[in-house]
Structures are given as structure tokens and as C-alpha cells.
Amino acid sequence: MFTWDIAKAAGPRKGIGYHAYVIIDIFSRYIVGHTVEPAESAERAEELIREAIERPTPRSATSARWAALRPPSIDVTRGAL
């Protein structure tokens, strides 16, 4: 699962700026896509997202981090009812 953002960055002179796009895998917290463009573009954002989805993502989560995300076993759930 990804999240993404666009941030404006100042350029070398007044009135010149850039748009930095970043896509982050929310589980591993790795940046899986990024680019800097002279203007915002829906087409470029779509292309970058497509590239990030097609690219294999690194997984560095330890079992301790994943344990918090794991649902309880069915026996524990039945006991709570």
C-alpha cells in the first residue's frame, strides 16, 4: 500500500520552482518512486504511480513489527465472544 505527496521546491531564481513527487510504501517506509518536475502534471503523476506499482518493493519489516499487524487467532476471537 502506497501513499504519495507533491511538494513545491524553490528554484535558483525568484519565480522559478519545481514540484517534487514522492511515493512511499507505508509498510516498509521505503521511497518507491520519486521525481522532480518543472510543473504539476496529472499525466506524470499517473505514470510515476504506475511505475511504482510495477516495480517490486523492498520489505524490511521485522517479525516484531509485523506481529502488531497480525490479527488474533480464531481461538482467541472465539474466547472473547
Number of structural domains the chain divides into = 1
SS3 of 15, please? coil
Q: Comparing C-alpha atoms, which of 34, 21, 28 is closest to residue 1?
A: 28
Question: Domain containing 74: what range?
Answer: 2-80
The predicted-structure confidence for 19-38, as pLDDT tens digits, reads as follows 999 999 888 888 999 999 99
**pTM confidence score:** 0.63
Contact 6, 24 (CB under 8 A): no
Q: Comparing C-alpha atoms, which of 67, 59, 71 is closest to residue 27?
A: 59
Q: What is the pLDDT of residue 57?
A: 61
Q: Which pairing describes strands 2-10 and 17-25: parallel, antiparallel, or unpaired?
A: antiparallel
How many CA atoms are closer than 13 Å to the CA of 55, on its beta-carbon side? 18
Average pLDDT by stretches of 10, the chain with 81 residues? 92 93 89 92 92 74 52 55 54
Q: What is the pLDDT of residue 34?
A: 92
Q: What is the pLDDT of residue 63?
A: 46
